A = this chain, B = another copy of it.
Amino acid sequence: MKAGIGHYQVGEAFDHYLLIKNANKGVASNGRPFLSLMLKDRTGEIDAKLWEASAEDEELFHQGEIVKVSGEVGQFRGKPQLKIHSIRPAQSTDGIKAADFIEKAPLDKESMMDRITEAVFEMKNPNLQRITRHLVKKHQEELIHYPAAVRNHHNYISGLLHHIVSMLNLAKSVAELYPEVDKDLLYAGIILHDLGKTRELSNHTSPSYTVEGKLLGHISIMSEEIKAAAEELQIEGEEVTILQHMILSHHGRQEWGSPKPPLVREAELLHYIDMMDARMNMLNRALAKTNPGEFTEKMYSLEQRAFYKPAFSK
């Protein structure tokens, strides 16, 4: 058995469970109704059409349902499309759980949470430490499950946690190489920089942007929460302003959504580490699906580049 739909090639037969990501009704050019399904498992997703769909089909095959499908992987307008031979809803006796069809971080969420706790514990600056701990605690529930983005990078369950932990590890090495760096400030910035996504996005299973997310954005949301936390904790001192600045500037440029560019060394570093980890996440996942000697698809978030996997790659 193949590892998952993301690994099938055109022409191969498929016979396994998939989750219906979304389902839309359509009318074919012969005037008959059909269902346009997006099916997925943890490794990828594929488009499928259920022709001559009956009213009953429409009811059975809706978003969130797990189905057993057999068919063949074909191609339509250059994209893979599953040609359905048979399809039925999974039954309780099949012993299938929806959670198994949704991609999640490759690391365990408890150990990732521990890594954050450890980083907070290491901080020596009490002002930075208390604000960070306060906000992690406040958003802990979402932090554990949320993705780091709707698409592109770390867009899976616990992706936000994964992104933070990966950045903390990178930051630790960088701070050793450049001893001038204020590690506490850098750690605090990393842990909080995207925490506003817990309000910018609607939920962790099928996230979309909230009204607040669209009108204010995670950057302004978290800067404001830092200020409020400091007041609640009765913390005064320049650390509050600097930490707000870290969050406000972490997109690096005004045209990328930061109202201020980085004007503090650790803010500049935060931007690089964020960008490097986000881009490596996208690249590594795309290349994992690419054979040596071939190119990936054009990647929207990497300036539409298609990357090459050298023929001598392991």
Contact = CB atoms under 8 A, between A and B. Distances in A.
Given A34-B29, A227-B224, A211 B261 contact: no
A306 B180 contact: no
A305 B185 CA distance: 20
Interface in A37-62: 49, 51-52
A12 interface: no
The complex is assembled from copies of this chain, and their number is 6
Contacts of A255: 254-255
Contacts of A239: 310, 312
A100 interface: no
Interface in A121-137: 125
Given A30-B28, A220-B259, A264-B307, A241 B279 contact: no
Interface string A154-187: 0000000000001001100110011010100100
19 contacts: A27-B76, A27-B81, A211-B241, A214-B260, A215-B244, A215-B245, A215-B260, A216-B223, A216-B241, A216-B248, A219-B259, A224-B224, A238-B310, A238-B311, A242-B312, A255-B255, A269-B276, A269-B280, A272-B272
Nearest to A214: B263
Contacts of A75: 24-26
Contacts of A300: none
A86 interface: no
Contacts of A244: 215-216, 220
Contact of A287 (B180, B185, B258): B180
Given A27-B76, A212-B241, A239-B312, 19 more contacts: A25-B74, A29-B30, A29-B34, A29-B51, A170-B177, A173-B173, A178-B280, A182-B314, A211-B308, A215-B244, A215-B248, A216-B241, A216-B244, A216-B245, A217-B248, A237-B312, A263-B305, A268-B283, A269-B276
A220 B237 CA distance: 18
A21 interface: no
A31 interface: yes
